[in-house]
Amino acid sequence: MASICFRGIRTHPSFLYPSALFTRRNGVFFCTMQSPQTETKTTIENPKTHIKASPSTQTKANEKILHDYEAIIGIETHVQLSTLTKAFCSCPYIYGAQPNSTVCPICMGLPGALPVFNSKVIEYAVKLGLALNCKLSMNSKFDRKQYFYPDLPKGYQISQFDIPIATGGFIDLDLPLEFGGGHRKFGITRVHMEEDAGKLLHSGTGTYSQEIPFAFTCLLKSFRPYVQVDLNRAGVPLLEIVSEPDMRTGIEAAEYAAEIQRLVRYLGLSNGNMQEGSLRCDVNVSIRPIGQLEFGTKVEIKNMNSFSAMHRAIDFEISRQALLHSQGQGDQIVQETRLWEEGAQKTATMRKKEGLADYRYFPEPDLPEVVLTEDYVDSIRASLPELPEMKRRRYEKMGLSMQDVLFLANDINVCNFFEEAVDKGADVKMAANWIMGDIAAYLKNEKLSISEIKLTPQELTELISSIKGGIISGKIGKEILFELIAKGGTVKALIEEKDLITDPTEIERMIEKVLSENPKQVEQYRGGKTKLQGFFAGQVMKASKGKANPVLLNTILLEKLNTKS
Amino acid sequence: MYSSAVIWVKGGAPYLLLQHQQKQLFSTLSRKKTPLWFSPPSTTPRNFSARSSLQPLDVSRLAETARISLTPTEVEEFAPKIRQVIDWFGQLQAVDLQSIEPALRADTEGDNLRHDLPETFENREAMLAAVPSYEEPYIKVPKVLNKD
């Protein structure tokens, strides 16, 4: 099955999970709710478990071997654009829509139908080209890439061959601190526009004729194997980003892909969702002994649908190739496409390449040249938002630690929330701490995005200043935060509801009680162990169930401790 | 047997693309005709191809790339016809183009772009009714193996 699913330069991750398509049929249009933080978290967590999972002796041997080799990694990324319509026809594209419901003669490749290009695709391509620091081709064109396969009924894909819209750029990123940190700059070879293909569902996956008894279905299928075609995705615009072979490790490659995801989300041109196939990465990996100039045989890896899977797949592939080299079996590394098997945590041969595929490219005669004007490019350049790299550098200058910077800048919605709170006067570090701590934990638990909760940046600011100003304790602050997240409302109203203790005599009474219950500590305090003030404050706060006004509490407590003799 | 035949030349290397009846997908639909297209010789700065002379004709290979099967008699029958076309391209290649600025494409009037406004195609039912094998909601095609 797999050998048919994956072909050419495109991936169809959904093929391997056809059931997912069925369950998601009634899904939502813009599925951006999934918090990207979750993905970063997995990137952070999984490699550790991976290393532990593999036999330690083998790992040690591999590490030794790996020292002698250098991996060369290049990535082709397909970004599905979130335009309302397809690239060459006005059909809408809605992820999860009823199969073959958004089709027309153009995307079905019917005779006589002529493509008309969507201007939004040019806009997005120029945006991405500029964001990737590329040189734009003021005149580019489309080409036909011939191949015969039922996912593309025309018999060719409209793509860009020798004159892509953007070339020769780079991307900056910061590696997570868990992986040693550091800044990287990777080259971008080109960005070009093309159309997506339809989806194929291969029979034998058990989702088709559910009403027919199982045994009979099997019998039928063994005689008449067939493929189900859904052409909704045929003709949906893609931008293909080809990197220079600049990456050297799995984590660098995974972070490159994560940065591309951030970039397209910041630019608002794709939801960048890997599970839905809106962001697909094909990775080329080769290794060579350190010091050797020529490249080794390159192997392509597909079927990774998360950044952590990319990281693990590439590291596995590097070890596999290094091991073969070290055993004098370097000739067994052949040019092929390998699939990442998530269950087995390994790559396996999918298809060996017999020479270069002959796509017989030629210029698309049905479409005019794509012409950009300086004015157009300038207006798009002026409309570009602050990009992830700029954002990280600015956050750094605000005094945030690299860990905070990377966390906040990972998600544009989080950035917007954070910046709004800071604009309203929230303390930078405290705002970052609240967002990264309790708020992030809540979002992760509830699988929500920060823009979906009832807490507003304004109220977070209010909450922070209430704690800072000693009106409420941290404990009450936390309680109020969770109420704000779940039910909304204002900090002021919630504080009133809490009927906090602001009566000095009541607080005084509590303090006296605590002091009389702890005569030993009082003696120690008066003997010079002034650090014990915190202990008393804690005891009183506990007695008040966190409701005592912290400023009053501390003032009265100090008074009592220092004056009474 | 064939609905149309298209020939194209890339930097001088000829390929025949016989668009055969797409049995795999829509056997009842004929293909649209594609205009003849000819690229300038490889003296242009662009990377069209490194090859500059015409390749010898191999009808069997051409048939394979177009996913059609030809009998030996058919191969013999087609060879001279295709060779004629190639020879014609050979003549075109002999034209001196040194002084001519290569064109990306033929001149077209305006951009002919479209706004990103969705429109539902109204006659979808008729279109799907023409699909030879359709089982709601999927188009059914025989299992095909990737040959590339």
- Considering chain A, what percentage of its residues have pLDDT values greater than 90? 62
Tokens linked to A549? 């006004």
Q: How confident is the model at residue A403 (pLDDT cuts 50, 70, 90)?
A: very high
Mean of per-residue pLDDT scores for chain A: 85
Which residues make Cβ contacts (< 8 Å) with residue A44, sequence separation at least 6?
A176, A178
Beta-ladder partners of A167: A135, A190
Q: What is the DSSP letter of A370?
A: E
**Number of DSSP helices (H) and strands (E) in chain B, helices first:** 3, 6
Which residues make Cβ contacts (< 8 Å) with residue A410, sequence separation at least 6?
A36, A37, A40, A258, A262
* Spatial distance between the Cα atoms of B112 and B117, rounded to a whole number of angstroms: 15
Q: Which of A54-58, A306-310, A365-369 has the lowest mean pLDDT?
A: A54-58
Cβ <8 Å between B22 and A102: no
Q: How confident is the model at residue A564 (pLDDT cuts 50, 70, 90)?
A: low
The pLDDT of residue A11 is above 50: no
* Spatial distance between the Cα atoms of B120 and A456, rounded to a whole number of angstroms: 39
Tell me which residues of chain B, numbers 12 to 51, contact chain A at a CB-CB cutoff of 8 Å.
15, 17, 19, 22, 24-26, 29-32, 34-35, 37, 39, 46-48
Contacts across the A-B interface (CB distance below 8 Å): 161
ipTM of this predicted structure: 0.74
Buried b / exposed e over A413-441, threshold 16 CB at 10 Å, is bbbebbbbbbebebbeebbbebbbeebbe
Query: Nearest C-alpha of chain A: how many angstroms from B41?
Result: 13
Tokens linked to B134? 């359709």
A272 closest CA partner among A388, A136, A189: A388
Helices A250-267 and A412-423, interaxial angle, to 10°? 60
Whether the CB-CB separation of B47 and A162 falls below 8 Å is answered with yes
Q: What is the DSSP letter of A150?
A: T
The pLDDT of residue A173 is above 80: yes
Kindly report each contact of residues A479-486 with a partner whose C-beta sits within 8 Å and lies 24 or more positions away, as own/partner. A479/A546, A481/A434, A481/A438, A481/A439, A481/A455, A482/A438, A482/A442, A484/A454, A484/A455, A484/A459, A484/A460, A485/A439, A485/A442, A485/A453, A485/A454, A485/A455, A486/A453, A486/A454
Whether the CB-CB separation of B146 and A149 falls below 8 Å is answered with yes
A476 closest CA partner among A466, A485, A486: A466
Model pLDDT, residue A432 = 96
Q: Which of A229-238, A287-296, A491-500, A505-514 has the lowest mean pLDDT?
A: A491-500
Backbone φ, ψ for residue A109 (5° rounding): 70, 35
Domain with CATH 1.10.10.410 in chain A: 504-562
**Residue range A250-269: mean pLDDT, rounded:** 97
Whether the CB-CB separation of B38 and B92 falls below 8 Å is answered with yes
Name the architecture of domain B54-94.
Answer: Orthogonal Bundle (1.10)
**Residue range A240-262: mean pLDDT, rounded:** 97
Q: How far is CA A564 from the centre of its chain?
A: 60
Question: For residue A232, what is the nearest residue in chain B, using CA coordinates?
Answer: B138
Q: Which residues of B touch A227 (CB under 8 A)?
A: 140-144
pTM of the shown model:
0.77
Q: How many C-beta atoms lie closer than 10 Å to residue A191's C-beta?
A: 25
Q: How confident is the model at residue A61 (pLDDT cuts 50, 70, 90)?
A: low
Model pLDDT, residue A243 = 98
Whether the CB-CB separation of A179 and A203 falls below 8 Å is answered with no
pLDDT tens digits for range A93-119: 999 999 999 999 999 999 999 999 999
* Spatial distance between the Cα atoms of B52 and B54, rounded to a whole number of angstroms: 7
pLDDT tens digits for range B130-146: 999 999 999 999 886 65
Tell me which residues of chain B, numbers 41 to 100, contact chain A at a CB-CB cutoff of 8 Å.
46-48, 65, 67
Q: Does domain A504-562 have CATH number 1.10.10.410?
A: yes
Question: For residue A22, what is the nearest residue in chain B, using CA coordinates?
Answer: B137
Q: Is B128 exposed, middle or buried (0-12, 13-18, 19+ CB in 10 A)?
A: middle
